[in-house]
Amino acid sequence: MRLTQRDIARLARVSQTTVSLVLNNRTTASARIPAETRERVLKVIRETGYVADPLARRLLQQRNQILGVFTYESVFPSASADFYHPFLNGIEESAEELGCDLLLFTSAPVTADGRRRVFHDNNRLRIADGALLLGRWIPGEELSRLVTEKYPFVSVGRRDDPDDGTTVPYVGADYTSATATLTARAFELGHERVAFVGPGEGAESSADRLRGFRSVSPRGAHVPSAGRELTDVLHELLGQDVTAVFVEDLADADALADAARCRGLSVPGDLSVIALGDASRPVPSDADYSGFHIPRKEMGRQAVGLLEAILSGDPAEPQQLLSCELVEGSTLAEPRGL
């Protein structure tokens, strides 16, 4: 079995980006690597007999050292800036380590359905050596075309492979395991009636969360919230005697908890509220919600590392999931009466 840069990184206890810099000896960027770290990488290379692909090295010399960033939704409005900032920060840091410039593609037209498309008459994908894709929802046909045309890219976020059998490279968050762990915790505390609030479909991130919930609570209620007032959602939950609710977005979790308190209910005494991720829009409250954090910065960093591996001819493990950080918080507790 052929060794990969990812294997070398694991053995040397460094990032894949560091291995790439050492192997390719990029003067400006690699100068930042401590001598001790460089020697540790070289030692592993010597001991394992790793040999870089010579074709990849020739291709490297022809690169522009520009990585593209394409966003399927705007990342700059105040409502989403806080959510996307860690992703972009991780991308920027890793690109800087590699000595690459970033090119944000902003010319994509918005179609009739209100979505952006990477492929259009004036697209400039080829200016960049490869691209990172950001967005909650990405059309399968675009992912399939990118793979078919052999354009190097990595999605920041898990994506389903298209029906044509192509493999989509991505670095995502393991929402399924994190949600399952929290759901199991609620049952351990004595909750018998639980519910999931959110789309639970469409975007892979939504489907993964619901899948994790269903793996532990197959009979738990699923209450869609799109287009509904959260007071109505709360009324439905209370009508089903739900004592613990798992909410896809922290902002919705906060609004739902506020609606419960306005009805004289205690959180978490009467209703435990668990946030399955970070807020996609500003949250007025600074409450310490039980749930998990998405490893957004690390997803950005590792997505750049994976793209670099693909560009270097070393695309090991093209689909990677990172663990979410569980947060104990103060909004999940035993139901009242136990």
The pLDDT score that the predictor gives to residue 1 is 53
Tokens of 175: 């929402």
Q: Where in the chain is the domain with CATH 1.10.260?
A: 5-52
Q: How far apart are CA 112 and CA 127, in angstroms?
A: 27
Q: How far apart are CA 90 and CA 167, in angstroms?
A: 24
The pLDDT score that the predictor gives to residue 126 is 80
The pLDDT score that the predictor gives to residue 55 is 42
Q: What phi and psi, each to the nearest 5 degrees, are found at residue 192? A: -110, -30
The pLDDT score that the predictor gives to residue 113 is 65
Q: Which residues of the chain have pLDDT under 70?
A: 1-3, 24-32, 49, 51-62, 76-81, 109-114, 121, 315-316, 337-338
Strands (DSSP E) contained in 88-147 are 101-105, 130-134
The CATH class of the 5-52 domain is mainly alpha
Q: How far apart are CA 55 and CA 312, in angstroms?
A: 9
Tokens of 235: 């009324």
Q: What is the dihedral of CA 134, 136, 138, 143, to 10 degrees?
A: 50
The pLDDT score that the predictor gives to residue 317 is 83
CATH architecture of 64-173+296-323: 3-Layer(aba) Sandwich (3.40)
Beta bridge pairs of residue 153: 131
Contact 169, 315 (CB under 8 A): yes
The pLDDT score that the predictor gives to residue 8 is 79
The pLDDT score that the predictor gives to residue 237 is 95
Contact 157, 173 (CB under 8 A): yes
Q: Where in the chain is the domain with CATH 3.40.50.2300?
A: 64-173+296-323, 175-294
The pLDDT score that the predictor gives to residue 79 is 57
Buried-state track 23-55, b at ≥16 Cβ within 10 A, e below 16: bbebeebbeebeeebbebbeebbeeeebebeee
Q: How far is CA 266 from CA 241, 255, 260, 263, 321, in A?
A: 14, 14, 7, 9, 36
Tokens of 44: 């592993």
Instruction: Convert the pLDDT of each residue in 164-191 to its tens digit.
Output: 778 899 999 999 999 999 999 999 999 9
The CATH class of the 175-294 domain is alpha beta
Q: How far apart are CA 222 and CA 81, in angstroms?
A: 29
Q: How far apart are CA 205 and CA 143, in angstroms?
A: 16
Contact 196, 223 (CB under 8 A): yes
Q: How far apart are CA 171 and CA 154, in angstroms?
A: 7
Q: How far apart are CA 9 and CA 62, in angstroms?
A: 25
Helix/strand/coil percent split, the chain, to 5: 40, 15, 40
